[in-house]
Amino acid sequence: MPFDLASRLAARHADNLYRQRPLLESPQGPEVVVDGRPMLAFCSNDYLGLADHPEVKAALQRGVERWGAGGGASHLVIGHSGPHHDLELALAEFTGRPRALLFSTGYMANLGAVTALLGKGDTVLEDRLNHASLLDAGLLSGARFSRYLHNDVDSLASRLEKAEGNTLVVTDGVFSMDGDLAELPALCAAAKARGAWVMVDDAHGFGPLGATGGGIVEHFGLGLEDVPVLVGTLGKAFGTAGAFVAGSEELIETLIQFARPYIYTTSQPPAVACATLKSLELLQRESWRREHLNKLIRRFREGAAEIGLTLMDSPTPIQPILIGDSARALKLSALLRDRGILVGAIRPPTVPAGSARLRVTFSAAHSEEQLESLLSALAECWATLAKEEAPDA
């Protein structure tokens, strides 16, 4: 039988790698209803708590009344509406770059940027832990593709020496499963020394990082010459949907002409752009959201250390608890769920073999009391897991 799908699915089950979709029956927020049960959630990327913000929702509603429900066509046909244009101008100003270009998803922004810039005879160098969309973009570009060791400048430098043609160094800003930051100043210096460009996907950095929420580039004080290609996602800290690429006039015009995922896709609903404009305003205006988020992160790391949990080196809202074994990660997640706490178990192939983890994420909408509830549940569940695994006396 050529397509033995049942065996593939059975193998996923046997390896504790089978994935299931929880059914969300409420808006995004700390307190949700999932699969019919009220839960306290620590697994969303809504880092600033804007997905259910009343001003953002009102902006979306006004946008629907003014602009209708759908984009109608691609940007290059008749789908580029006033709100799209206004949002691109606002994002360019926010990032301190001449231009910005909207994409319907972050995956498409990454595919579009890499494949428009590179082709046969060129080189793309990527961090080993980059998001799947970046790795897929590199493979689809047709360029010579190589992955350097995670955040290892020496490993990158050795590959840069062998690079041919136009060379693009591609990295996440904040690594989505580890929560650590790219060593961007050193990576940019190594790339610049060899005449290579740097592209950063700062999907998880915009909002939480930087003095004004401008992400990892702002965090490190870097500019357009250091990072010519900057990608941001709007479905995480912005609380809406879509993505953008920000850069020079020539870069954006090149993407408009050559980025197939941009050219051949219907634009996002204009009302979503209206909502994102309001999110951007709140992100910049309400700095208390980042301050509160950082307070939660510090307290969680202190509490987790007291319990004896192994955390990864992350200063961001992504706080993975390293477990190792996939079955153990699933068990700990299930124990927490039984106590009304929702934290996802992340397993291979999303993360390397032997590094299964619980990916705890925080939002500015979480209260200190909710954080303490998480820590109490973790302490109880961790002790229960250890007791169940202990050999009989």
130-151 pLDDT tens trace: 999 999 999 999 999 999 999 9
Give the span between the Cα atoms of 296 and 364, in whole angstroms: 8
Task: Report d(CA 281, CA 285) in Å as an integer.
Answer: 6
Regions of the chain where pLDDT drops below 70: 1, 391-393
Q: Which of 116, 58, 160, 103 is nearest to 253 (CA)?
A: 116
pLDDT, tens digit, 9 for 90 and up, residues 263-315: 999 999 999 999 999 999 999 999 999 999 999 999 999 999 999 999 999 99
Angle (deg, nearest 10), helices 368-389 and 326-338:
130
- pLDDT for res 393: 39
Neighbouring CB atoms inside 10 A of 72's CB total 15
Q: Of the listed 84, 219, 236, 278, which one is catalytic?
A: 236
81 marked as part of a ligand binding site: no
Exactly one of 204, 278, 292, 331 is catalytic; name it: 204
Q: Which pLDDT score is estimated for 386?
A: 83
Residue 369's alpha-carbon distances to 21, 47, 176, 339, in angstroms, are: 28, 17, 26, 16
Is 148 in a helix, a strand, or coil?
strand
Q: Tell me, what's the pLDDT at 199?
A: 98
Bridge-based pairing of strands 229-233 and 197-201 is parallel
For the chain, the residue count is: 393
Contacts of 240 (CB under 8 A, 6+ apart): 50, 51, 56, 60, 234, 272, 275, 276, 279
Contact in structure between 228 and 254 (CB atoms under 8 Å): no
Q: Which residue type is seen at 107?
A: Y
**DSSP string over 199-255:** EEE-TTTBTTBSTTS--HHHHHT--TTT-SEEEEESSSTTSS--EEEEE-HHHHHHH
Phi-psi region of 179 (alpha: psi -120 to 50; beta: other; left: phi over 0): left
Looking at residue 180, the DSSP 8-state letter turns out to be: P
Radius of gyration of the CA atoms of the chain, in A = 22
> Which one is catalytic: 44, 133, 155, 176?
176
Phi–psi pair at 137, nearest 5 degrees: -60, -45
Question: What pLDDT is stored for residue 15 in this prediction?
Answer: 86
80 marked ligand binding residue: no
Residue 96 marked as a ligand binder: no
85 is in an annotated binding site: no
Q: Is 84 annotated as ligand-binding?
A: no
Per-residue model confidence (pLDDT) at position 42: 97
265 known member of a binding site: no
Q: Is the entire prediction scored with pTM above 0.75?
A: yes
What domains can be seen in the chain, in order of their start residue?
13-42+287-389 (3.90.1150.10), 54-285 (3.40.640.10)
The yes-or-no answer on residue 80 being catalytic is no
Which residue type sits at 379? A
Return the structure tokens found at 233: 């996602």
**Is 146 tagged catalytic?**
no
Taking the CA atoms of residue 242, residue 49, residue 373 and residue 343 in that order, the dihedral angle to the nearest 10 degrees is 0
Has 236 been annotated as catalytic?
Answer: yes
Is residue 215 a contact partner of residue 173, using CB atoms and an 8 Å limit? yes
**Predicted local distance difference test score (pLDDT) of residue 346:** 92
Number of H helices, E strands in the chain: 14, 13
